[in-house]
Amino acid sequence: MRVRRAGDAALLAEVEDLATAHRLHAAVRAAGLAGIVDVVPGERTVLIVTDPARCDLERVRARLAALELPERPEADPAPVEIPVRYDGADVAEVAELTGLTAEEVVRRHASGEYVVAYLGFSPGFGYLRGLDPALHVPRRSTPRTFVPAGSVAIAGPYSAVYPSSSPGGWRLLGRTDLALWDPDRRPSPALLRPGARVRFVPVEGVR
Amino acid sequence: MIEVVRPGPLTTVQDLGRPGHAHLGVPCSGAADRPSLCLANRLVGNPEDAAGLEMTFGGAVLRFHRSGWAAVTGAPVPLRVGGRPAAMNAPCHVPAGACLEVGVPRIGVRSYLAVRGGLAVDPVLGSRSTDLLSGLGPAPLRGGDRLPVGRLPADAPILVDQAPVAPLPEEPVLRILPGPRDDWFTDDALGVLTTERYEVTAESNRVGIRLTGRPLRRAREGELPSEGMVTGALQVPPNGMPIIFLADHPTTGGYPVIAVLAGRDLPVAAQLRPGQKVRFRLHGGR
């Protein structure tokens, strides 16, 4: 693990892979270090943001190096199941780009075992790893100005569900009625958390 | 209760934001120039984290339906209360029915208004801040909006008549700490960043200050695997023009961060206006 400075209030720990990032993320949270404001996993990093008035960055760095990483980052290994109507506007286009039939695009997307790599872009927007490599297609060259909440989409090596309506350039495969983001939900407004496993379950209207 | 007669170009409710949710994709948000909001709150006897208004380029007219105390800080603006001039950085009494009129700043961008008791709009995830990136919190103010005002214990004192405040620098020199991704840039990139002047563009907002000037060249191709971003990060997209992340910045990003502003210089950056020049220098004692 290499630890870099990110200004005078944060450290960026670099690790070898996503799974280790999730284990480190869990370990930092479990350690309950004083003065930690945010812990943000990335693809191969964990960002630790502190309140410099309440802790010493070099001490945090020393504590990081001594942390024991848990075997399994998530206490509850049950995957989050997301029901999807695969009627997205870009299914045919993805079929064309990949040389697969539309049915095969849907089958491959729905049979993937996904892990939430990290969140970003908008509250509750999880970047899901585990997409079938045959479905790795680039974003649209021109993003849509409006993608409705609940849209299930792919771009590059990721799949995602738009938690709220926003502009977006990902390819739309379907929709879910599940609320990915609900500010009033406890304990977490976000359905997805870093490291959580996800499965997509096709519902009526499968092509 | 306060009635928004005119909101000005962009006025939002801000407190100290909603830290602690970045791993869920929630920006911290909150006042871009935090010390100015904290000062305004102290001047009227509020806790520093009470919600006030962040006025971008001033221009707001607010009617106080009950009498109250207010203070305006940050970018210097002419103030009038009930038609009479009032001072910045000082508590001022607004009689019931009177308007507080905020002029336009000639230097700086963001002025802050605190009201004794704080603005009591509904919080989202523990904060009343408007986050312009994610849309969390109340919408920017519009004419006719009514803002509820909270209550303070009667013994919360107003202690200061006028706070001394240093003037905003005309051409600020912001201190930076290199990294975390300075190794993604050519050897001379940090030298370029710390010797050239950069100009603030009109595309700047609460998400970030977009600069133009001599581009910072990358030493390597490819995409950085997405990683967490801090406020004050100088993120460099492929065009080589750095963006200084402010309060509403995205929580993760895939462009390398060449350096991060010293925390103390963030409020200075938050007052940069389009067309203004800025320079950077290395922060001592890395």
Chain B interface residues (partner A, CB cutoff 8 A): 19-26, 28, 124-125, 133-136, 177, 179-180, 225-230, 232-233, 250-253, 257, 260-263, 283, 286
Greater confidence (B248 vs B156) lies with B248
From the list B19, B177, B250, the residue facing A7 with the nearest CB is B177
pLDDT value of position B142: 98
Q: Which helix (H) or strand (E) holds A2?
A: strand A2-5
pLDDT in tens, B62-102: 999 999 999 999 999 999 999 999 999 999 999 999 999 99
Distance from CA of A107 to the nearest CA of B (A): 28
**Tokens encoding A47:** 């960002």
In this chain, the answer to whether the domains covering B2-147 and B173-282 adopt an identical fold is no
Residues in chain A closer than 8 A to B19 (CB atoms):
37-38, 49
Q: Do B23 and A8 touch (CB under 8 A)?
A: no
The model carries a pTM of 0.94
B286 pLDDT higher than 70 = no
Q: Do A190 and B25 touch (CB under 8 A)?
A: yes
Q: Do B225 and A125 touch (CB under 8 A)?
A: no
B285 pLDDT higher than 70 = no
Taking only residues 83 to 142 of chain A, the set having a beta carbon closer than 8 angstroms to any beta carbon of chain B reads 118-127
Distance from CA of A66 to the nearest CA of B (A): 21
Assess contact for A202 and A178: CB atoms under 8 A: no
Strands B173-178 and B277-282: parallel
Greater confidence (B23 vs B156) lies with B23
Distance from CA of A126 to the nearest CA of B (A): 8
Q: Taking the domains of chain B in order of start, what are their residue ranges?
A: 2-147, 173-282
pLDDT value of position A73: 55
Q: Do B19 and A7 touch (CB under 8 A)?
A: no
For A164, name the nearest residue in chain B, comparing CA atoms only: B134
A52 touches chain B (CB under 8 A): yes
pLDDT in tens, B141-164: 999 999 999 998 877 888 888 999
- In this prediction, residue B195 has a pLDDT band, given cuts at 50, 70 and 90, of very high
Strands B252-253 and A144-147: unpaired
From the list A40, A121, A125, the residue facing B228 with the nearest CB is A40
CATH superfamily of B173-282: Cyclophilin-like (2.40.100.10)
pLDDT in tens, A65-115: 999 988 765 556 789 999 999 999 999 999 999 999 999 999 999 999 999
Q: Which CATH architecture has domain B2-147?
A: Sandwich (2.60)
pLDDT value of position B284: 77
Distance from CA of A3 to the nearest CA of B (A): 9
What domains appear along chain A, each with residue ranges and CATH number?
Answer: 2-66 (3.30.1360.40), 80-202 (2.40.100.10)
Assess contact for B88 and B76: CB atoms under 8 A: yes
pLDDT in tens, B200-225: 999 999 999 999 999 999 999 888 99
A9 touches chain B (CB under 8 A): yes
Residues in chain B closer than 8 A to A12 (CB atoms):
180, 227-228
What is the residue-level pLDDT of chain A in tens, covering all 207 positions?
Answer: 999 999 999 999 999 999 999 999 999 999 999 999 999 999 999 999 999 999 999 999 999 999 998 876 555 678 999 999 999 999 999 999 999 999 999 999 999 999 999 999 999 999 999 999 999 999 998 999 999 999 999 999 999 999 999 999 999 999 999 999 998 998 899 999 999 999 999 998 544
A150 touches chain B (CB under 8 A): no
| Mean pLDDT calculated for residue range B263-281 | 97
